[in-house]
Amino acid sequence: MEQAEIGLIGLGVMGSNLALNIAEKGNKIAVFNRSPEATRKFFAEAGSLQGQIIPCETLEEFTAAIRPPRPIIIMIKAGDPVDQQMELLKPYLSAGDIMIDAGNANFRDTMRRFEALKDSPLTFIGMGVSGGEEGARHGPSIMVGGTEESWKRVEKVLTSISAKFNGDPCVAWLGNDGAGHFVKTIHNGIEYADMQMIAEIYGILRDGLKLSAAEISQVFGRWNEGRLNSYLIEITEKVLAATDPVTGEPMVDVILDAAGQKGTGKWSVIEAQNLGVAATGIEAAVAGRILSSQKAERIEAEKILGLPDTVAFPATDGVSFLHDLENALLAAKIGAYAQGFAVMAAASKEYGWNLPMPTIAKIWRAGCIIRSQFLDEITSAFTKEPDVANLIVTPAFAQLVKDTDASLRRVVSTAVMAGLPVPALASALAYFDSYRRARGTANLIQAQRDFFGAHGFDRVDGVDKHHGPWGSGLNA
């Protein structure tokens, strides 16, 4: 029997879709699931693709069905289950075989697993896969971390199944050990920020301008034809237009206002802070989801505190204010991307990955959740200035920030005065204002710290450094 080019363990929704994608692109694949019944069901429903699939009911049968060196995708719940599955696999593997974790793993787990196999004949790939169920089935964005040799073994298969943007495959080897999963984590952090900002604009349209869900859908539809063109704006238009079949009400109006999270947004915030990079948009988005989940507490708080005393939402020229909202959302999104790329740049230096920023922007142009029109511009900006400190100081994006600054300022101030929460939009404005201000206020913080002996300070004139405590001598 012809051996498979690759194997896959875990036939849940994501695993099944990825396996079908691999088979459909002409690659023979061996599949295994802990439950043999799930393997049989998957094969029975594979239809015309059955000829490309080798269903296996034991690990021994599964590994024997794959051409060495064997690349094996593990598509199961992240964390301990992956470690357990790897231990079960090891007795059946040979020199050069590659275990590939394609789940939403913490990059630190990926680095640990890679290190544990360093002196063994086996190796490991941490592979970020973005695009959800639809992407897995028809073409995801794929971010690979591991040795270059192991990448070359899987490059043909992964290129065939990846999303394509104008013919360019949205897959790349990004560096050693945890590089792929780290980039996927930051992708998800940007996604959190993007979704939060869109939701805040929706709140202004709903509670400020008093538009219906259908009317707001039309607004997002128009925006999707311009500079905001992106997958998230596209699906926002669609979900706002959807009707609940039970009540006949707009679907969005019957959905509980409590959003969950899977951990990658939180990891993005933690790693940004560990690396000393401000990622305030992502932080605001994660905090927003946490607050949203506290529904019962929010209901009680409104009873006790009431809503804030506010000025009435200003009567404005509707067309003009909608234009401001569009520009404000564009500005805030730019801030989120800039912060995400800044975190990746810091991690690249910290872990020696040499992350290719233009390539990351390229492979996010299709397949992934945050695909958007201006990723082409981000690619161009980093190609021209690969070592730039921050995306927003490149010529194209500096101009965009200048062009949208006034709109973002008007939208945030209007929302705040009307009592509408816009934490992510406000964080973007504060980020821009803080980053571009040469003379800030941290000198007072340093003076306070030095007063109680916590830290020395650097003088503006560079003459000397004083180390506290000051005691009573404020002129010392």
**Known catalytic residues?**
184, 191
DSSP secondary structure string, 189-246?
Answer: HHHHHHHHHHHHHHHIIIIIS---HHHHHHHHHHHTTTTT-BHHHHHHHHHHH-B-TT
- CB burial of 14-43 (b: ≥16 within 10 Å; e: otherwise) equals bbbbbbbbbbbbebbbbbbbeeeebbeebb
If 0-12 CB within 10 Å is exposed, 13-18 middle and 19+ buried, where does residue 262 land?
exposed
Gyration radius of the chain's alpha carbons: 25
Cis peptide preceding 69, ω within 30 of 0: yes
Tokens found for residue 388: 């730039």
Task: Report how far residue 200's alpha carbon sits from residue 372's, in angstroms, rounded to the nearest whole number.
Answer: 19
Element (H, E) at 44: helix 36-44
Residues 6+ apart with CB under 8 A from 447: 457
Instruction: 419-423: list long-range contacts, CB under 8 Å, 24+ apart.
Output: 419/307, 419/308, 419/309, 419/310, 420/200, 420/203, 420/204, 420/207, 420/208, 421/200, 421/203, 422/200, 422/203, 422/204, 423/196, 423/200, 423/284, 423/287, 423/288
DSSP secondary structure string, 436-449?
Answer: T-SS-SHHHHHHHH
Any idea which residue has 């009911």 for tokens?
Answer: 57
Task: Report how far residue 414's alpha carbon sits from residue 333's, in angstroms, rounded to the nearest whole number.
Answer: 19
Residues 6+ apart with CB under 8 A from 260: 289, 293
The whole-angstrom distance between residue 317's C-alpha and the CA centroid of its chain comes to 36
CA 44, 47, 51, 52 torsion-angle sign: negative
Tokens found for residue 64: 């024997």
- Give the count of beta carbons closer than 10 Å to the beta carbon of residue 268: 28
C-alpha distances (whole Å) from 131 to each of 155, 222, 299, 341, 399 are: 19, 24, 35, 19, 31
What are residue 400's phi and psi, to 5 degrees? Answer: -65, -40
Nearest to 327 by CA among 405, 430, 217: 405
Hey, which residues does 9 pair with through a beta bridge?
Answer: 32, 74
